[in-house]
Structure 1
Amino acid sequence: MKQNYTIRHGALEGVEVFLAVARHRNFRRAAADLGVTPSAVSQAVRALEARLGAALFVRTTRSVGLTEAGQRFLDRAGPGFEEIVAAGEAARDIGQRPTGLLRLSVPRAVVPLILEPVIASFCQAYPEVELEIAASDEMVDLATGGFDAGIRLGQFIATDMVAVRLTPSFRFVVVGSPDYLERHGRPERIEDLRQHACLRLRRSNGAIAPWTFVDGNEVIEAMVSGPLIAHDYPTLLGAAMRGIGLAQIPRPVAEGPIAQGKLVPVLDAIAATTPGVFLYHTGKRQILPKLRAFIDHLKSGI
């Protein structure tokens, strides 16, 4: 059963006026400082005194002084009100220019490919932004995790997210080391993978990802087996380079070892294509300047 709660209204009403009168010890000068009439200042102070149940000022025709209650209220309310004003200015700062902590959830494989080339230049260009990169292949909830944005392959991003493309689409390639292929031969068809050690990826939801291929317009998912299951592509890449088995890896992740001759692509004719890498955020509110600056900087550096 729902309980009835009363929302407290007006806890800060009249406090700024009180502080102005206490500072100037004069109602007219306080009114001029606040840009209102002396009558409005007097009414605000009377309303505050009525709400508190105590007189805050001693008024004479020549001077205005604080009562004991007024002095106690000034001692406590003054610093507190200054903190509220400072908090408002800090929040306004974050909403108007790139500043504050920017937290990103990013797969490990993306860090060297996309982020490392631009981290230094971004930090130099925006010294008031603290950049925190949580490198993990876990799919996290941005809101509950306290992240401003995440970076993931397009097919893993929820439809209610706002996605910003960072890379073109690319293929998933099956690769093996020259030594492994010399010992076990090159697979020519999907069926040949049954005779090979296939290194597999466990997704963040606990499921082992099938290997995906495309034959014409048909998408084929192959359940493979092998000696190693990893939770990220860099681990699979390293294992494939050491000749443990074949791995299906995003082409950009494997590009360097392929160019160096450390890995050889196989089954290229039926390699599947992924939409690419995207930065995503909730988009439920206006993008803060710190995130907008990072997106623009990232896209310009790719």
Structure 2
Amino acid sequence: MTQIRREDKLIKTDQLNKQDFAMRPLRLDNLEIFEDVVRCGGFRAAALGRGVSSSAISQSIGGLEEALGIRLLNRTTRSVAPTEAGEQLLRRLGPALHDIRTAIDDLNQLRERPSGTVRINAPGPAADHVLCPLAFEFMEMYPDVNIEIVSDAAIIDIVQQGFDAGVRFGNQLAQDMIAMPLGPALQYAIVASPDYLRRRGRPASPHDLLQHDCIRRRFPGGTMATWKFEKDGEEVEITPNGRLTLSSAHQERQAALAGSGIAHLFDDYVRDDIEQGRTIELLGGWKKKLPSWYLYYPSRRHASAAMRAFLEYIRHQHW
């Protein structure tokens, strides 16, 4: 085995490697940066979120990989993805970093007002019409609290992804989650532009929609949305036909306004359009009441002071 001289002592090279590895510093902020890079999908997006340069993010990740002695990210010119080791670290890292942030944030109890950041994952419609208005008012009441809302309709593990809470439709959630109503019961409206109705006629029943161009919605998991109706105890569910398939309520509203077909949207999205005559509501007697949005959060995790303040604020709302 090769030998080298260090401080006048002969040390085997494999022993030196172990000693050098043990002396490499491991910075906790680099772990948080690693989580940001994976969550944001790249160095540039993580850098923008932190207000630093991409090269600074790259150096931090390089320092972390050197300290751990293993590659955490596979890098190409177009993408960044965690290695097997990176994925394993990330699974443990998210909850651990959340606990650290919560421990630090708990010091806010010694101050007059809570501070810190509340991160919430929510589908676009819930964020647009319920969560954002609540957050705006809450932030006026608590100027030291930051709110980050990520619009995402996909079902995710909010703990693993570093969120304090999530919003979903209805209260069918995992048993280890606490859920609370977020807003009143919901209703969908079926709408089309006057121009479309002049060209294609007006459906008289839900089944008539099968003869129309409907604007379809594909969920992140790949399934197609069905349309549900109810009248005098009769329930009808259809899978709409149509040439246009979209993935967001904003896009569906735009398509309806352009006369591209009949849209199936929450009342909140189309109320003004109906009142202004830009779209016409169809099958109003067939509206089916649905559960409200629900805010949910882990039951086994101690909430930060900022999150506790936000939950208390939600509890005092009158829907």
Q: How far apart are residue 223 of structure 1 and its match?
A: 1.3
Aligned position for 1:270: 286
Amino acid at match of 1:90: I
Aligned to 2:179: 163
Q: Distance in 1 between matches of 2:135 and 2:102?
A: 30
Structure with larger Rg: 1
Work out whether residues 257 and 263 of structure 1, in 8 Å CA contact, stay in contact via their aligned partners in 2.
yes
Q: Which has the higher contact order (CA 8 A, sep 6+)?
A: 1
Deviation at 1:275, TM superposition (A): 0.6
Output the CA distance in 2 between the equivalents of 1:87 and 1:167: 29
Q: Deviations over 1:83-106 (max 9, x none)?
A: xxx999735415776322211112
Instruction: Give the CA deviation at 1:252.
Output: 1.9
Q: What's the counterpart of residue 62 of structure 2? A: none
- TM-score normalised per structure 1: 0.64
Q: What pairs up with 1:74-153 in 2 under 5 angstroms?
A: 90=104, 92-93=106-107, 98-153=114-169
Alpha-carbon contact 2:105-2:304 (below 8 Å) kept: no
Q: Deviations over 1:151-177 (max 9, x none)?
A: 222166446532211222122121111
Instruction: Give the Cα–Cα distance (whole angstroms) in 1 for the partners of residues 268 and 102 of structure 2.
Output: 45
1:155/1:274 contact within 8 Å kept: no
Q: Distance in 2 between matches of 1:151 and 1:113?
A: 12
Q: Does 1:185 align with 2:204?
A: no
In structure 2, give the amino acid aligned to 1:177: S
Rate the CA distance shift 1:121–1:215 in 2: closer, same or farther, 3 A.
Answer: closer
> Residue 157 and residue 197 in structure 1: after superposition, are their counterparts in 2 closer, same or farther (change >3 A)?
farther
Separation in 2, partners of 1:247, 1:88: 43
Q: In 2, distance between residues paired with 1:88 and 1:119?
A: 20
Q: Give the match for residue 238 of structure 2.
A: 222
Q: CA deviation at 1:204?
A: 2.6
Q: Deviations over 1:3-51 (max 9, x none)?
A: xxxxxxxxxxxxxxxxxxxxxxxxxxxxxxxxxxxxxxxxxxxxxxxxx
Partner SS for 2:260: coil
Residues 221-277 of structure 1 show CA distances to partners (whole Å, capped at 9, x for unaligned) of 201111221222121111111111001111122222122221211112122221112
Query: What is the letter of the counterpart of residue 248 of structure 2?
Result: D
Could you tell me which residue of structure 1 aligns to residue 5 of structure 2? none
User: Counterpart amino acid of 1:244?
Assistant: S
Mean CA deviation greater in 155-164 or 186-195 = 155-164
The runs of at least 4 aligned residues of structure 1 exceeding 6 Å deviation read 86-89
Question: Counterpart amino acid of 1:253?
Answer: Y
Aligned length: 217
Say if 1:244 and 1:144 are closer, same or farther in 2 by CA, change over 3 A: same
- Tell me the distance in 2 between the aligned counterparts of 1:147 and 1:195: 43
Retained in 2: the 8 A contact 1:171–1:274?
yes
Distance 1:247 1:159 in 2: 34
User: What is the CA distance between 1:109 and its match in structure 2?
Assistant: 2.3
**What SS does structure 1 have at the residue aligned with 2:179?**
strand
In the TM superposition, residue 137 of structure 1 has moved relative to its aligned partner by: 2.2
Q: Which residue does 1:253 correspond to in 2?
A: 269
TM-score by length of 2: 0.61
SS of the residue corresponding to residue 200 of structure 1 reads: strand
Instruction: Work out the CA distance in 2 between the residues paired with 1:296 and 1:149.
Output: 14
Instruction: Describe the shift of the 1:171–1:92 C-alpha distance in structure 2 as closer, same or farther (beyond 3 A).
Output: closer
CA contact 2:122–2:152 (8 Å) conserved in 1: yes
Q: For structure 2, list consecutive stretches of 5 or more residues without a partner in the other structure.
A: 1-99
Q: Secondary structure at the match of 2:160?
A: helix
Identity of aligned residues (%): 31
Question: Partner of 1:208: helix, strand, or coil?
Answer: coil
Deviation larger for 205-214 or 107-116: 107-116
CA contact (8 A) 2:116 2:306 kept: yes
- Are residue 212 (structure 1) and residue 210 (structure 2) matched? no
Q: Which stretches in structure 1 are left out of the alignment for 5+ residues?
A: 1-85
Amino acid at match of 1:242: A
